[in-house]
Amino acid sequence: MGESIAAVVVRAAELTARGLPRKAIDLLRPALVAHPLHAEAWCRLAAAHLDVGEPDPALDAAKRALVLDGDHAWAQRLAALALSELGRHAEAAVAARECVRRKPGDWRCRVVLAEVLAAAPETRVEAVEVAREAAHLAPTEARAFQVLGDAALRVRDWGTAEWAYRSALALDPADEDVHANLATVRRKRGASGRPSGDALSRAHELVWPLFSRVAAMLVAGGLLLLLAGMPKPTPWIGWFSGALVLAVCVVVGRVALRRAVWALPRYRPKVAVVAVLFGLSTLVLVGWTVALFLGATTMQPLVIAWLCALAGGSVVVLGGGR
């Protein structure tokens, strides 16, 4: 008898995979009348009902599986999807979180949680992070990246959505839905011009250590110039000042070609403040250097440049790169 119901479950799975979930339902229902304690069969039935857009019987079947011995995480996933389709988002989220709790290493649980969270506006940002975890757990599963793209699309994170959809297509090039969504994202991203959250975070991680080096150069170099130029600077000091400006330009030039770096000050206020202070300090140094070669003997511009560098360095130290 056990082999009989097992064979029915296998045939139902094959029918569902071939896009015939209604035939799978017709096959499973009479088998479950004879074998009502077979949890996997109830899960297969719930999945088939979801495939044909029938969340109510899918939820009933998933609940039957939950009270039997079997894969409760699978039953929780199915229950969460059915509840979500019924508009019961809070209950769906509870079921999906329980699924993740039962099997934290199962990427499918996180995929379902991301889908459920993405359905409610107040949890869409969390959905992106959960989907990102699913993609990390299953780097060879196109579905994980597709769900990440869908979640990112809902929060208008075009860069993350495009990357996720491209990753999904690299694994499954024939998915027409992903192709369509990727085309939508590219249109939207072209209209907005905003880098993705991932790109901004990577740019921040790149820029902040650079700011630390620039702060050390401008503060220490400015202090040395102050000491060397007292009481009256000479044109020879201009060569050292010019060397300092050149060194700063070389360090900054290493990351200046990255698009996200230029966009970063618009979205990270601390970066904007530090960039303005360091930029002002460098410009004043350039002007003072030129003035020295033309015969000027004032120290005031150097003091201003040094104070700007000190203020920017303080923001870098106190900000801690967060």
Task: From 311, 157, 288, 136, select the one nearest 226 (Cα to Cα).
Answer: 288
Give the pTM. Answer: 0.57
- Domains plus CATH for the chain? 1-104 (1.25.40.10), 123-194 (1.25.40.10), 197-319 (no CATH)
Q: Give me the tens of pLDDT residue by residue for the chain, a chain 322 residues long.
A: 344 888 999 999 899 888 899 999 999 999 998 889 999 999 999 999 999 899 999 999 999 998 888 888 888 899 999 998 898 989 999 999 999 998 988 999 999 999 999 988 889 999 999 999 999 999 999 999 999 999 999 998 888 888 899 999 999 999 999 999 988 888 877 655 556 566 667 777 778 888 889 999 999 999 999 888 888 888 888 899 999 999 988 888 877 666 667 777 777 788 889 889 999 999 999 999 999 888 888 889 999 999 999 998 898 888 765 5
Q: Which residues, at least 6 apart from 146, have a Cβ–Cβ distance to it below 8 Å?
A: 164, 165, 168, 175, 177, 178
Judge contact between 44 and 16, C-beta under 8 A: yes
Cα dist from 103 to 30, 72, 98, 108, 299, whole Å: 31, 10, 9, 9, 67
